[in-house]
Each structure stands twice: as structure tokens, then as C-alpha cells.
Amino acid sequence: MNIIDHLSVGVPSIEEGRKFYDAVMKTLGCDCLAATEGFAAYGNGAVQFLIMTPLNQEAATFGNGTHICFVAPTQESVNEFHQAALSNSGVCEGEPGPRPGYPKPDVFTTFVRDPFGNKLEAIHNGFAV
């Protein structure tokens, strides 16, 4: 059983957020399944990840030490995720490649920050496999 129903990150506006996340999530086989002025929901058949404007109308912020890791079906999709992020105002936080220090062998991953400061990872052969 999956223990997480969905995850979300804050963005200053859904329009700005979708410029980044529509491209990045497409590399993982996910589409925007629903959107309003307050959120956009992504997944592959079911919503699992959302971008949202804060309900309290304060600025969206990111958590220090927090990141969200997405399953990537192939090493190539990890590379595509990284490139899509950088092409859409994301910042590299770790080039795509193997991570021999990870507890599982054959891990291939990358880290980026979205334009709003949220740290993201795309991983092939991670814990979910």
C-alpha cells in the first residue's frame, strides 16, 4: 500500500508554476490532470503531485532539507527531466548520473531546483523499484 496520497509544493502563481512543471512532468510520463487558479494536479492516470498557491495568501516558500523525488522509468528520462528543468528556469543541484553512495546499486538520479526554490529529484532504480 502506498502511504502517500499526494505531495504538493507552493508556487507564486499557477500560470508561472505550469510553465516549469508542465514540461518537467511530461519527461516522467505525467500530465496536468486538473487545474484551477489555486492548483495544478499532475499524475499518470491519478493525481499524485500538485503545485498550489498558499491558502493564507503569504509568499510560497520551500523547506530547507526538503525535497521531492519522482520515479523516472529510464536513465534517459532522468536526463530529459534535468534538461527540461534547466530549459524552464530551473537550477542544477546535481548533474544526472550514478550515485554509488546510495543504499541501492545502479541508482541514476539528478537534482534540480524549480524557479521557486523547491528541490526536486528524478531517480531511476530508487526505493520504489
- The reported pLDDT for the residue numbered 1 is 61
CATH number corresponding to 7-55+66-124: 3.10.180.10
Per-residue pLDDT for the chain (129 aa), expressed as one digit of tens each?
677 889 999 999 999 999 999 999 999 999 999 999 999 999 999 999 999 999 998 999 999 889 999 999 999 999 999 999 999 999 999 999 999 888 888 999 999 999 999 999 999 999 887
Which pTM value belongs to this model? 0.92
Beta-carbon contacts of 71 under 8 Å, excluding residues fewer than 6 positions away, are 28, 122, 123, 124, 126, 128, 129
* CA proximity to 114, closest of 43, 41, 11, 14: 11
